[in-house]
Structure formats: structure tokens, C-alpha cells
Structure 1
């Protein structure tokens, strides 16, 4: 049974993963579409600025906070195995740690780093921008779905 501090961790995990899913959803559904509609040089400049300003305490608290909560929950859940709700909690932790944090590290950040190095005014920059928007958004969809599924898994564990 999930109770006490373990319950609080699970609720915080559900909320943090759900909040991260909302951020990723916003980017996938309108931010990236808005940036893609700009001339490439402007879109590149705007996205590069977003990538710099995203590394703020507020967003990092949500993104890395959810990561930390999932790591702690996974360890506690392994200790309490096979109590009720442990499968759902481990699934939620894995979904967020791999599908959100892992995809960010492996797919989105390398694209952000590459975008920061292109000349926004060049033909190569414009071509990379089109590829970037498509690929980055596809991986962002993965992050959003994984974060939402993680939140749902935590909720199921609590019911």
C-alpha cells in the first residue's frame, strides 16, 4: 500500500511529470509551429534564445525535479516490491527517465547544440532549420507522451 512519505513522493511525481508533459505539449502544438512559420534566420535566432533561457531555475526545477523524484521513487519501489502499485510506479519512473530525460539528453540537446552552431543567414542554416524543426518536434512528441504516460501510471498506482 502506498502511504506516508511514499504517497507524497508518488503524488509529487505524478504532478511533476504532468507539468513536464504540459510544457512539452505546448512546444509541440504551437510554439514550434509558430517558430517554423518565421523566416529561417528569425526562427533559428528565436529557438537559440529559447534554448538559453530554458535553463532557468523554474524550468529546471520541474524537469530535473521530476527526474530526481522518479529516481528516488524507483529505488523506494524496488525496496517495497511487490507491494500494491509497485508495477505502475516502476513503469511511470521508467517512462519518464527514459522517454523524457533520456530523450532530452540523446535527441533534443544535441540538436539544440547543432542549431547554436549554424549561421542563421546561410543556405545551410535554412536547410538545417527545416530538418531541426521536424526532428526536434518529433522527439518532443515522444517526451510529451512519455511524461503524460508516466503521470498516468503514478495516478493508477495511487488508486
Structure 2
């Protein structure tokens, strides 16, 4: 039997990681492709604007909340181990924390920081943009899949 607080954490973690998976999915499947069709200076300007805006938006609250809930779920899974349910809880937590949260911090954020320092009207900017599009999107695919799988594991743990 899970504690009510754990069930609430699982529900919110499932919903929030699923919502984040949707955001990442949108970026992976059409937003970055649309930016790639723009001239480099316009694509860079658009992404720089997103990078500035996103850290002041509800997205960042959801991103951090999901990480905190995942840590809580992992701790509860370990402290009150119940084989299959705990394994699902731990799997969801690890997927979100490692493959979504940490990959964002270790890969996407440094790419964003590098992009913020470049002038889109220069050859250097155009070259960085080309690399950025492929590298950032590749890591975004990882975040999308990991967040979706985490949501699935959290939901499955509830049932």
C-alpha cells in the first residue's frame, strides 16, 4: 500500500512529466524544423528569445517541480520497497532525473548559453547555428522520450 502523499506525488509527477514530454515533442517535431528553415540570424534570434523567456515562465516551475517530485518518489520507493511498484516508481524517477533533468543541464543549457553569446549576422553565428540545430534537437529527443517513459512508469505505479 502506498501512502496518500506518495500517490499525490505520483499523479503530479506523471502529469507534469507528460506535459514536459509534450513540450519537448513539439520542439523536436516541428519548432526546431521551422527555425531551421529561417535564415540563421532569424533562427538564432527566435531561439535566443525562447531561451530568455522560458526561464521566467511556468515551464521552469514545472521542470523543477517534476525533478523534486521524482526525487521524493525515488526515496519513497527505496524506503518502502514493494517489488514491482517500487521498481516502476524508481524507473520513472531515474528516467526523469537522469535522462530529462540532467541531460537538460549538461547538454541543452550549455548549447543555449553558447547560442546566447553569438551574433546571428556573422559566419561564426551561422556555423554555430548549424551545429546547434542538430545537437540541441538530438538531446531534446532524449528529453522527450525520457519524460514520456517516466510519465508511463509513474502512471503504471499507480495501478
**Aligned counterpart, 2:89:** 89
TM, length-normalised to structure 2: 0.96
Cα offset for 1:83? 5.2
**Aligned counterpart, 1:124:** 124
Cα offset for 1:84? 4.9
Cα distance between partner residues in 1 of 2:57 and 2:137: 23
Cα distance between partner residues in 1 of 2:39 and 2:27: 18
Cα offset for 1:82? 2.9
Gap regions ≥5 residues in structure 2: none
**Aligned counterpart, 1:139:** 139
CA contact (8 A) 1:120 1:126 kept: yes
Per mean C-alpha deviation after superposition, the further-off stretch among 11-20 and 89-98 is 11-20
Cα offset for 1:56? 2.0
Which stretches of structure 1, 4 residues or longer, exceed 2 Å deviation after superposition? none
SS of residue paired to 2:31 = helix
Cα offset for 1:5? 1.5
Could you say what the CA RMSD is over the residues aligned between the two structures, in angstroms?
1.1
Cα offset for 1:15? 0.6
1:75 paired to 2:75 = yes
Gap regions ≥5 residues in structure 1: none
Equivalent residue pairs, number: 159
SS of residue paired to 1:85 = helix
**Aligned counterpart, 2:14:** 14
Cα distance between partner residues in 1 of 2:54 and 2:114: 17
